[in-house]
Amino acid sequence: MKQIENRLDDIEELFDRADVNHDDQVTLREFRGLMLELDRHMLDNAVLANFVQMDTNGDGHIGFGEFRSWWINY
């Protein structure tokens, strides 16, 4: 159980790093910044594809629940 809690803490930390303006949502621009920080060679089309896949409600932003669900299954 502790391992799962630590993983969720890590996911929350990543979300907070991505959420530059601290509005509890991650925009494509913010997501791109995080992805390029984690993988400098990630292509824009891969960033966009992951963002679209993560944005399950199609509102153009990613909430923590969407981010967590995607990251756990990534």
Write down the domain spans for the chain: 2-73
Cα distance between residue 8 and residue 67, in whole Å:
11
DSSP state of 37: H
- Read off the amino acid at residue 6: N
pTM: 0.84
Three-state secondary structure call for residue 12: helix
CATH 1.10.238.10 is right for the domain spanning 2-73: yes
- Residues comprising the chain, all counted: 74
Please give the backbone phi and psi of residue 43, each rounded to the nearest 5 degrees, phi first: -80, 150
- Read off the amino acid at residue 69: S
pLDDT in tens, 36-71: 998 989 999 999 999 999 999 999 999 999 999 998
Three-state secondary structure call for residue 62: strand
